[in-house]
Amino acid sequence: MQCIEVCGIGVMGRSIAERLIEVGHRVVLRSSGHSLDNESELLASGAVRPNGPADILILCLPDGTAVLDVLKSVQHAPALVIDCSSTSPAEAREAGKEVGLSGGRYVDCPVSGASALSRRGGLTAYVGADAHDPILAQIRALDLFRTIIACGPVGQGMALKLVNQAVHMVNLCALVDGAALAGALGLDPVLTMRGLAAGSAASTMLERFGDAIFLGADKAQFSAALARKDLDNVLESWALVPGTDGSLTMVAEAQAVVAGAIQRLGTDIDVSAIGRRGCE
């Protein structure tokens, strides 16, 4: 049984902590100052507060600034830091340097999948490590992830997560437009969803978000603010690459859609709310 410190217990961090407790790890909750609402329930489930050095520190924080703040405040750095936050490749490399100053190992390990999958060990992890790196065996032993993809040097896990989020959000915005078109043409939303699922438009995004976008169901997934942060990171990372011509047009449009929804509905909305066209 390993002692694993989890920092950042929002939606994903909480589900990761719950999974670790369930499979028998000793879980320590480190306060990040960003998400404390779930602490009491996790403590009741068997987690503890810090009382000594941990074997592994898992980060689930909202952005790269929060990651660096925590890493600089850690007094007894563990041998391994697994960063499940979604930041940028540049921020991951900076975090890796910070951990390296204390002799530890940093691995960017952003995840893909709903929080419910985390509780079943069903997430996909994009790991900034080579395919033969022994660190992968340590990550696999946590029993958190169904699929682990070795992406290369530090930062490349975040790079693949950004590509995933770019495709994810463009597809989500396409569903919003599809729902609007179906409504304008007088199609029943349930019939529309069934038709899409049976045709070439079938997708994981339709399965996850169809009820919210076509039927208006209240089905929380993740915050629109985090989605906007991911899209910002995509466009900023693109701009930092020498020799890139033009722009990521579809990603920029998705960014505008999410920003517009936040402006209309508030900063605390779920990303599924961008389809509430009647609120415009």
Last residue of a domain, one of 119, 153, 187: 153
Q: For 64-78, 192-206, 222-236, which range has the lowest pLDDT when averaged over its residues? A: 64-78
For the whole model, what pTM was predicted?
0.92
Mean pLDDT (the chain, rounded): 91
Last residue of a domain, one of 135, 153, 171: 153
Instruction: For residue 20, give its domain range.
Output: 3-153
Integer CA distances (angstroms), 152 to 168, 177, 259, in order: 22, 36, 32
Q: For residue 37, what pLDDT is reported?
A: 58
**Structure confidence at residue 66 (pLDDT):** 94
Asked if the model's pLDDT at residue 279 lies above 50, the reply is no
Residues 170 and 141 in one domain: no
pLDDT of residue 10 exceeding 70:
yes
In this structure, the answer to whether residues 65 and 134 fall within a common structural domain is yes
Which has more pLDDT, 162 or 12? 162
Residue that is written with structure tokens 């989605």 in the block: 227
Of 101-110, 116-125, 155-164, 202-211, least confident by mean pLDDT is 116-125
Residues of the chain above pLDDT 90, percent: 72
For residue 274, the model assigns a pLDDT of: 86
**pLDDT value of position 278:** 40
* Domain boundary, last residue among 108, 133, 153: 153
Residues 164 and 120 in one domain: no
Tell me: do 7 and 145 sit in the same domain. Answer: yes
How buried is residue 275: exposed, middle or buried, by Cβ count under 10 Å (0-12/13-18/19+)? Answer: buried
Q: pLDDT-based confidence at 220, cuts 50/70/90?
A: confident
CATH number, domain containing residue 235:
1.10.1040.10
pLDDT tens-place string over residues 77-133: 789 999 999 999 999 999 999 999 999 999 999 999 877 788 888 999 999 999 999
The pLDDT score that the predictor gives to residue 216 is 87
For residue 272, the model assigns a pLDDT of 86
Number of domains observed in the structure of the chain: 2
Percent of the chain at pLDDT above 70? 96
pLDDT value of position 280: 37
Span of 41-45, 102-106, 175-179, 230-234 with lowest mean pLDDT: 41-45
Tell me what pLDDT residue 32 has: 63
Statement to judge: residues 226 and 196 lie in one domain: yes
Output the pLDDT for position 36. Answer: 53
CA distance 224 to 258: 7
Residues 11 and 127 in one domain: yes
The pLDDT, as a whole number, for residue 1 is: 74
For 27-79, what is each residue's pLDDT tens digit? 999 876 555 557 888 998 999 988 888 999 999 999 999 999 999 988 777 89
CATH number at 8 reads 3.40.50.720
Assess whether 130 and 18 both reside in one domain. yes
> Can you name the residues that pair with 123 across neighbouring β-strands?
145
Residue 233 φ then ψ, to 5°: -65, -40
Asked if 132 and 172 sit in the same domain, the reply is no
Mean pLDDT of 198-214: 94
Task: Compute the C-alpha angle 59/221/18, nearest 5°.
Answer: 45
Residues 266 and 173 in one domain: yes
Q: What is the mean pLDDT of residues 156-160?
A: 98
- Over 50: is that where the pLDDT of 162 sits? yes
- Measure the CA–CA gap between 88 and 160, rounded to whole angstroms: 10
Q: Which residue has the tokens 């936040």?
A: 262
Same domain, 22 and 46: yes
pLDDT given at position 58: 97
